[in-house]
Structure 1
Amino acid sequence: MLAMVALDELLASARVASLPMRVKFRGVLEREVLLLEGPAGWAEFSPFVEYDDVESARWLASAVEAGWLGYPEGVREWIPVNATVPAVSAAEVPAVLAAFDGVHTVKVKVAEPGQTLRDDAARVGAVRHLLPDARIRVDANGGWDADQAVRALAMLSVFGLEYAEQPVASVADMAAVRRALAGSVLIAADESVRKATDPLAVARAGAADLLVVKAAPLGGVRQALEIVAEAGLPAVVSSALDSSVGIRAGLALAAALPQLPYACGLGTVSLMAGDVTANSLVAVSGGIAVRDVAADPELLDRFAAPAERRDWWLDRLRRCHALL
């Protein structure tokens, strides 16, 4: 199915947008996305710029699924979501949280290069102070080694952690951290699933208590559903700093999972100062209703990427299509 969609058909509708961020996230203040319009609706192809073509081709497979095949039937119509706090100072936390309406779960970024554990503790503590009853999860993006992770999570656990996401980079180290913590902090695998050649290795190694799954890096909603089913672990659906078009794929995945025990990381459009639709998929009363979105031509024009960046993305689209 995926290979049958001709490159010319993809290029015909391709639009590249550069969306401004409210705060720096993943080191950027502009998030570039390439949008496609197929017979089933709008789709997003937006692997981060540092990803190679092999990894990025999975994101294109997800976009083709969304635009040309459509999403599987869901079992729920409303998805609870978490707020996301980037690696900002503690003083900036109230402004970040103010953008998320009614959320009761917060993911806090930690282990940011150039920062210290004291910075992490201040940020997490600020969240706990503002939201004393919230569930708090931390995400290190593999930024610690095993010893650092054990020490850091032991310290941060005083704030009450729902779980720690990808505290270390390797599956072996994650298994070691999980054993050392002995259940005092649950461990969630993200990069060890979405960036791995074998996304089930983390489950076989007993390295995680739950999985964080993202539709685009795993090749689409259907592929992600298969991975969750085979892993046999609870799953949290998250996004990759997508526009509302990309968030729609995450909602489809969350809607189709048989169980959804955790709030999902699908509220990240609230971190953006612009979107490709006027009716953005953002948290309302702590969740997002599952619905389709369409890109707005006026907003696509307003946030159109410069010509050289558009050409860069179209060249990337061509290369990744050749790998499908």
Structure 2
Amino acid sequence: MTSVPGPESIDDLLDRVHVVALPMRVKFRGITEREVALVEGPAGWGEFGAFPEYADDEAAHWLASALEMAWQGPPPALRSRVPVNATIPAVAAGEVPGILERFPGCTTVKVKVAEAGQELVDDVARVATVLQTRPGVRVRVDANGAWSVDEAAHAVRVLDQAVRAADASRAPGAGPVALDGPGLEYVEQPCATVDELVQLRERLAADGVRVDVAADESIRRADDPLRVIRAGGADRAVVKVAPLGGPRRLLAVAAELGVLVTVSSALDSAVGVSAGVAAAAALPGRGLPGHGEIFDDDDVANPTAGDAAAHSTNPAADPTVIPAAGLGTGGFFHEDVVETGALTLVDGHLPVCSVVPDPARLAGLRAAPDRRDWWLDRIRRCHAQL
């Protein structure tokens, strides 16, 4: 792996580590408590939170990201705040309104689908409740690679029509669902492999289903993150800072991908989320024609320029606009490592700012000694691969 700025020695690094366990409001990825290792460096704080099942060679990218933020700091920002989407886990439809309350002002919602033990009808109910609770939002769904091509083709068609049927502009009894109305924004990682994604895109096109396919795992867990785009397996990319090795590496990959990019988080603490915000804030936009209703002028404001882009009458067509980022996951925690209000959603946006953990919270959320030892051993192994 390419060398990255960092501590003078492994002992210096380990002396800077704080391991915390964050209690969660809802089960997500099968866990109710999220452990991460935070690193205090000369340029700020970084987060190492590779999930336990990840092997050391993959987890080493996450450590590189933590070191970049702690020793280099964030890349230069192009905007002062970042629009984010609300995220709905694979919960019962009745729980959706309460979860949406944790995402004030978000006009894009990502809904988890294809959960083991659930059926498509559960996914449809979840999506329908989102649109009943917050009419007019854009909806994207995430299957985490769980569907076969046949299952995905059917599910995407059904979910897309469910979104169109919930269009608040349609009067009751207005007739068949219009095929040219706003449907799903995109489906994220509907199938597991690149070949399946290619087949699915061809199938959707043949069926007349106009829903973008976005790749996530096929980028962040791939030896070649560009392969899925080159093969024609995705219209969009969902990218995360830590798995790609840091904000600067994410920006480089996004430039090579050449498609619309959604910056997302990996169930991070406020420290990890701030790295995602930093990357999204530095991401050159590609314009979002046809989605003007979701953005406001502040989405494209450049704090260093103050030019016409900040006053665009059609911000969605402006090339500096970015898709709503999947960085609003802080609402899944009962407690986080920063003081309340330090990194808070305002009108569906997160501010671009430095994040410094509160010492009292670091102490109160400290992981058990055996878990701290586990993380320190893991850091030693991963650091040896950098």
- Equivalent residue letter for 2:138: R
Q: Does 1:219 align with 2:281?
A: no
The count of residues paired between Structure 1 and Structure 2 equals 324
Kept after mapping to 1: 8 A contact 2:238/2:264: yes
Task: Write the distance in 1 (CA, Å) between the matches of 2:381 and 2:5.
Answer: 13
Counterpart among 324, 335, 339 of residue 263 in structure 1: 324
Kept after mapping to 2: 8 A contact 1:214/1:224: yes
- Equivalent residue letter for 2:35: E
- Equivalent residue letter for 1:257: L
How many angstroms does 1:281 deviate by?
A: 2.1
Shift >6 Å, 4+ stretches: none
Kept after mapping to 2: 8 A contact 1:276/1:296: yes
- Equivalent residue letter for 2:190: P
How many angstroms does 1:26 deviate by?
A: 0.7
Identity over aligned pairs, percent: 54
- Equivalent residue letter for 1:318: R
Counterpart among 192, 198, 216 of residue 218 in structure 2: 192
2:185 corresponds in structure 1 to: 162
Kept after mapping to 1: 8 A contact 2:5/2:68: no
Kept after mapping to 2: 8 A contact 1:213/1:224: yes
How many angstroms does 1:194 deviate by?
A: 0.3
- Equivalent residue letter for 1:48: F
Kept after mapping to 2: 8 A contact 1:267/1:281: no
Three-state SS of the structure 2 residue aligned to 1:216 is: helix
Kept after mapping to 2: 8 A contact 1:235/1:261: yes
- Equivalent residue letter for 1:261: I
- Equivalent residue letter for 1:222: R
Task: Write the distance in 1 (CA, Å) between the matches of 2:35 and 2:325.
Answer: 23
How many angstroms does 1:282 deviate by?
A: 3.0
Deviations 1:194-250 (A, max 9, x none): 000000001101111110011100001111111111111110100001000001110
Kept after mapping to 1: 8 A contact 2:144/2:190: yes
Task: Write the distance in 1 (CA, Å) between the matches of 2:246 and 2:71.
Answer: 12
1:321 corresponds in structure 2 to: 383
- Equivalent residue letter for 2:263: V
Kept after mapping to 2: 8 A contact 1:83/1:97: yes
Aligned counterparts, 1:120-135, within 5 A: 120-135=123-138
**Cα-Cα RMSD:** 1.1
Distance 1:194 1:297, change over 3 A: same
Task: Write the distance in 2 (CA, Å) between the matches of 1:137 and 1:282.
Answer: 22
Task: Write the distance in 2 (CA, Å) between the matches of 1:177 and 1:191.
Answer: 16
How many angstroms does 1:2 deviate by?
A: 2.0
Counterpart among 171, 190, 209 of residue 194 in structure 2: 171
1:32 corresponds in structure 2 to: 35
Kept after mapping to 2: 8 A contact 1:45/1:63: yes
Task: Write the distance in 2 (CA, Å) between the matches of 1:4 and 1:107.
Answer: 35
How many angstroms does 1:269 deviate by?
A: 0.2
- Equivalent residue letter for 1:275: D
2:333 corresponds in structure 1 to: 272
- Equivalent residue letter for 1:214: K
Kept after mapping to 1: 8 A contact 2:6/2:71: no
1:283 corresponds in structure 2 to: 345
2:230 corresponds in structure 1 to: 204
Three-state SS of the structure 2 residue aligned to 1:261 is: coil
Q: TM-score, normalised by structure 1?
A: 0.98
2:85 corresponds in structure 1 to: 82
Deviations 1:243-301 (A, max 9, x none): 00001110111011111431000110011111001144231111011000101110011
